[in-house]
Amino acid sequence: MSHLIATVLGDVALVVLVSWLCGGLARRLGQPAVIGQIFAGIALGPTLLGRLPGDPSTYLFPAEARPFLAMLAQTAVVLFMFAAGYEIDFRTFRAGRAAVSIAVAALLVPMALAVAVVEWCGGLFSAVDPGHADQGSFAMFMAVAVSITALPVLAAIVRERGAAGTPAGTVAIAAAGFMDVAAWLVLIAVLSDAGQTTRWPWPTVLALLAVFSAFLFAVVRPVLRWWLERPAAVMSDPVPVALVLALGSAWVTESLGLHAVFGGFLAGLAMPRRDGVPNVQVLKPVEHTSRMLLPLFFVTTGLSVDIGTLGADGLAVLGVILLVAVVGKTAPAYGVARLHALDARQSALVAVMVNTRGLTELIVLDIGRSAGLIGEQLYAVLVLMALVTTFMTGPLLQLLGKERDKVGKKSRSTEGLELHH
């Protein structure tokens, strides 16, 4: 037992160190730190480290240590989803019809395209994932996988790029909030349709989930608001309250046969806010804690992904999925934004932002793999899709920023010529 504890502690230290270095390198390259951390997780698995002589990946992460790493990783993911739900500012849902319309279009169009592509290219998907491609729930899971938007990563990008408060940033954040909630609801429906083994029949599970959600919002939320707003209360520290709420809610949904992340997300939505704004005293500690442990999730993901084994069929599926995911998101988002009187540049910014997938996509893929909706090879393909679509966000936003600077310089030079004449 002592040897196992030492191994797990050493693994945690190694993962945090490598992820910290790769995250810093990603930020130097103008990318979100999560991109470097995901690459670190994949590199520590069979894709890179496992190909070295002696397979150091197996030695560093032995089979008996992986369940403990997975438990820590799931705790980090639950806290991450709590923060994601807590960051959804319901006031932004009043950002206007533009955000609602963009959310509907950028969610339903890629979903419809994914279902159509699975139907038309069934043979291609069967070659990559023969055990699942003919299942009825497979197409709907693929629809969710290509249509998800990573609200937390998007919010971080908006802040880093100075787009907070701009028309594009406000609309993109509001649309992402709508899509996050809707996508998780669709995923619950997909899991129920998949007939995953649970303690109770699925109609009973969904009914219990509805009752639990109503209890959170109608009972727990008002009680917590009263508890936390008491003047000079000794036991009003909001952080332990938030942790108990997040982990307790995750325990309920996991006990119902759903994934623990649903509980974390519901807890974040139900956590009381201050004047509609997330309490920084709650959000920051939870974000910091999850950020320190999330690299363990990337490693558990990386240990299940071997990109080097993808053949021609896998690369062909990747190309098709990227086309559906990128065009299905950006084209309708741009078109609807233009219809709502945003100029061409602001519309392009919105389209690029809502195409960000990041960690949220990896969580969806992990749920799908755990539920038996997709196999290992297709899982690797979809992980690559998540990386590519997140990686392209930064350069595209930078390019749009340069175009703005060019237009500004051209406009100023034209004004100068007119004054000279």
> pLDDT tier at 91 (50, 70, 90 boundaries)?
low
Q: Chain-wide mean pLDDT for the chain?
A: 84
Please name every residue paired with 405 in a beta bridge, in sequence order, or none if there are none.
none
% of the chain residues with pLDDT over 90: 33
**Residue 405 predicted with pLDDT over 70:** no
CA distance from start to end of the chain: 85
**Residue 199 predicted with pLDDT over 80:** no
pLDDT at 416: 45
pLDDT at 90: 60
pLDDT at 409: 46
What is the pLDDT averaged over residues 97-116?
91
How far apart are alpha carbons 119 and 258 in whole angstroms?
28
Please give the residue that has the higher pLDDT: either 90 or 324. Answer: 324
Other C-beta atoms closer than 10 Å to the C-beta of 308 total 11
**144-180 burial: b if 16+ Cβ within 10 Å, else e:** bbbbbbbbbbbbbbbeebebeeebbbbbbbbbbbbbb
Exposed, middle or buried by CB within 10 Å (0-12, 13-18, 19+), for 38? buried
How far apart are alpha carbons 266 and 187 in whole angstroms?
14
pLDDT at 194: 65
**Going by C-beta distance under 8 Å and a sequence separation of 6 or more, which residues neighbour residue 318?**
310, 381, 384, 385
**Going by C-beta distance under 8 Å and a sequence separation of 6 or more, which residues neighbour residue 67?**
none
> pLDDT tier at 92 (50, 70, 90 boundaries)?
low
What is the pLDDT averaged over residues 29-35?
82
Pick from 130, 128, 131: which is nearest to 372 by CA? 131
- Return the minimum-mean-pLDDT range out of 63-67, 155-159, 292-296: 155-159
- Return the minimum-mean-pLDDT range out of 14-18, 151-155, 221-225, 268-272: 151-155
What is the pLDDT averaged over residues 295-320?
87
> pLDDT tier at 327 (50, 70, 90 boundaries)?
very high
pLDDT at 292: 87
pLDDT at 413: 43
pLDDT at 233: 59
Residue type at 154 in one-letter notation: L
- Return the minimum-mean-pLDDT range out of 20-29, 120-129, 227-236, 263-272: 227-236
What is the pLDDT averaged over residues 318-347?
92
pLDDT at 402: 62
pLDDT in tens, 219-259: 999 999 888 887 665 666 889 999 999 999 999 988 887 78
Please give the residue that has the higher pLDDT: either 160 or 318. Answer: 318
What is the pLDDT averaged over residues 174-200?
77
pLDDT at 417: 34
> pLDDT tier at 412 (50, 70, 90 boundaries)?
very low
Please give the residue that has the higher pLDDT: either 161 or 346. Answer: 346
% of the chain residues with pLDDT over 70: 89
pLDDT at 349: 92
Domain architecture of the chain: domains with CATH = 2-402 (1.20.1530.20)
pLDDT at 411: 43
Q: DSSP code of 94?
A: G
Q: Report CA dihedral (79, 84, 89, 93) to the nearest 10 degrees.
A: -150
Look up residue 159 and give its two tokens: 């802040």
